[in-house]
Amino acid sequence: MPVTNHQAVNLALRAALALNCYIHPVSQFARKNYFYPDLPKGYQITQYAYPLAEAGFLEITPPEQSPRRIRIQRLHLEEDAAKSAHNEPWCEPECSYLDFNRSGTPLIEIVSEPDLRTPDEAGLYLKKLKQLLEYIAVSDCNMEEGSLRCDANVSLRITAGAPPGTKTEIKNLNSFRHLKRALAAEIDRQATVLSAGKTIIPQTLMWDDHRHQLRPMRSKEDAPDYRYFPEPDLPPLQINEVWIAQVKTQLPELPQAKLARFQTDYGLRAYDAEILCTDPDIANYYEAVLLSFPADPHLAANWVLTHVLAHLKAIQCSIRHFSVTPARLAELLHLIHDQTITSTSAKVVFREMTQVTTSATQLVAEKNLHQITDENELLPIIEDIKANFPDHVERYRNGQETLLGFFVGQVMGRTKGRANPQVTHRLLHDQLKLN
């Protein structure tokens, strides 16, 4: 006999709260009867007339538009069916393959209202939803493994303001790319059918990414009559205020709140804050760096956003497993901030830190990367450069001030990037004018 998993209900409640849903005091499981190979017992345990939660919203901000609420119609619990494979290279034609390992495990289904207008908006909504679910640790949202899946419905209007036309459903889209491609293809198909004066047949489709085409799974005529009825094996769920309050206390800071806080507390630009908050692990890493290096949140953000993320992308590593821990990066940032090293040298040290466990301070000492701020050390170098490039000096004196960059480059080259940029600029500015 089935028994409801307590943790599954807790996680569903967490998602419902994060999506601003109304949680029903009583919800009930139902049997959805259908006969299909992915569900040999002939019915799926789901929720129908009495779902766990309804009437929520998720805010998205399409590019160059104001934030918009996408309404959530309902959020309910159900059991998963088997995973089916048809298009894998190892699949024989005329056969489907079923993996029952996830069959019967709990999942939440989140149904949105028809508020999305373009494939890009649908992608943005799914991205936001994924981010939210990752933040609140309801799912790892690994789309390749099927932890987050998406069915997308499409219906076109003949004219603006007209009621939506007949809809079709594309099942089991398991990546953002598939979602956008499948939606674009289906919008095109429906537009062609409607332009030819024909009607859309309500049907369920599947996206075949190998062939870049939609394949019909079943038309409404073949669609099963689900004959929903209350699940006799599972008693109703009663969710009282105490339970909801308990779940609320476990909710971490949500992405929108974090985004606002990063801008106000750390003075970050919206764009930078947005990228840092995309992934809770990245946001946590950034804040852990600031714990040891609170002096310059901009410098820290700049380093995480550029060097750290670029390196992680190159080596295909998650920030959680990154060998340069927040404390190690903070130490490097201190060295930049107090002008012990230049940003050029810092890049060298950072590269080294990703390979070894040595601290930033030790590496600076070992590689003799201390910044040169002593004018007496820099002046002879500048004199030598002047002697080597008399033509450039002449042109600079005659008003071609953009050549200053050339001279800075020369100094940096000869000091292996160790010359203090401000001191170098000042000295060059003065010395180039002197004979």
Tokens of 100: 């029952």
Let me know: does 427 contact 375? Beta carbons within 8 Å. Answer: yes
291 binds other proteins (CB under 8 A): no
**Span of 4-12, 52-60, 175-183, 252-260 interacting with other proteins by CB under 8 A:** 4-12
Q: Minimum Å distance from CB 280 to other proteins?
A: 22
Q: Minimum Å distance from CB 215 to other proteins?
A: 6
Of residues 337 through 366, those in contact with other proteins by CB under 8 A are none
Taking CB under 8 A as the criterion, the residue among 55, 111, 141, 234 binding other proteins is: 234
C-beta closer to other proteins: residue 50 or 406: 50
Q: Minimum Å distance from CB 216 to other proteins?
A: 8
**Span of 68-76, 82-90, 309-317, 335-343 interacting with other proteins by CB under 8 A:** 82-90
Secondary structure letter of residue 321 according to DSSP: G
Q: Minimum Å distance from CB 151 to other proteins?
A: 15
Alpha carbon separation from 33 to 230, 237, 411 (Å, rounded): 11, 21, 77
Taking CB under 8 A as the criterion, the residue among 173, 237, 247, 308 binding other proteins is: 237
3 binds other proteins (CB under 8 A): yes
**Span of 97-105, 154-162, 375-383, 420-428 interacting with other proteins by CB under 8 A:** 97-105
Q: Minimum Å distance from CB 71 to other proteins?
A: 26
C-beta closer to other proteins: residue 93 or 197: 93
Measured distance CA(169)–CA(153) in Å, rounded: 4
Taking CB under 8 A as the criterion, the residue among 42, 114, 235, 409 binding other proteins is: 235
Taking CB under 8 A as the criterion, the residue among 57, 73, 97, 263 binding other proteins is: 97
Site string for other proteins, 8-37 (x = CB under 8 A): xx----------------x-x------xxx
Let me know: does 278 contact 47? Beta carbons within 8 Å. Answer: no
225 binds other proteins (CB under 8 A): yes
93 binds other proteins (CB under 8 A): yes
Measured distance CA(341)–CA(306) in Å, rounded: 18
C-beta closer to other proteins: residue 2 or 413: 2
Going by C-alpha positions, the residue among 336, 257, 346, 394 that lies closest to residue 406 is 394
Going by C-alpha positions, the residue among 65, 56, 79 that lies closest to residue 129 is 56
Measured distance CA(238)–CA(29) in Å, rounded: 12
Site string for other proteins, 119-158 (x = CB under 8 A): ----------------------------------------
Let me know: does 263 contact 301? Beta carbons within 8 Å. Answer: no
C-beta closer to other proteins: residue 33 or 358: 33
Measured distance CA(259)–CA(274) in Å, rounded: 6
C-beta closer to other proteins: residue 102 or 334: 102
Is residue 195 within a helix (H) or strand (E), and if so which, with residue range? Answer: helix 176-195
Question: Kindly report the CA angle at 77 between 38 and 217, in degrees rounded to 5?
Answer: 35
Instruction: Kindly give, in sequence order, each residue whose CB lies less than 8 Å from that of residue 324, ignoring residues fewer than 6 positions away.
Output: 308, 350, 353, 354
C-beta closer to other proteins: residue 220 or 351: 220
End-to-end CA, the chain = 95
Measured distance CA(288)–CA(329) in Å, rounded: 10
Secondary structure letter of residue 136 according to DSSP: T
Cβ atoms within 10 Å, residue 256: 17
C-beta closer to other proteins: residue 238 or 400: 238
Instruction: Kindly give, in sequence order, each residue whose CB lies less than 8 Å from that of residue 333, ignoring residues fewer than 6 positions away.
Output: 289, 293, 295, 296, 299, 300, 303
Q: Minimum Å distance from CB 60 to other proteins?
A: 32
C-beta closer to other proteins: residue 138 or 289: 138
Measured distance CA(148)–CA(110) in Å, rounded: 11
**Span of 70-78, 80-88, 288-296, 318-326 interacting with other proteins by CB under 8 A:** 80-88
Q: Minimum Å distance from CB 142 to other proteins?
A: 18
Taking CB under 8 A as the criterion, the residue among 42, 61, 69, 85 binding other proteins is: 85
250 binds other proteins (CB under 8 A): no
C-beta closer to other proteins: residue 39 or 312: 39
Measured distance CA(42)–CA(288) in Å, rounded: 51
Measured distance CA(276)–CA(305) in Å, rounded: 7
On the 0-12 / 13-18 / 19+ scale of CB atoms within 10 A, 357 is: exposed
Residues engaged in binding other proteins (CB under 8 A): 3-9, 26, 28, 35-37, 49-50, 82, 84-86, 90, 92-100, 206, 215-218, 224-225, 230, 232, 234-238
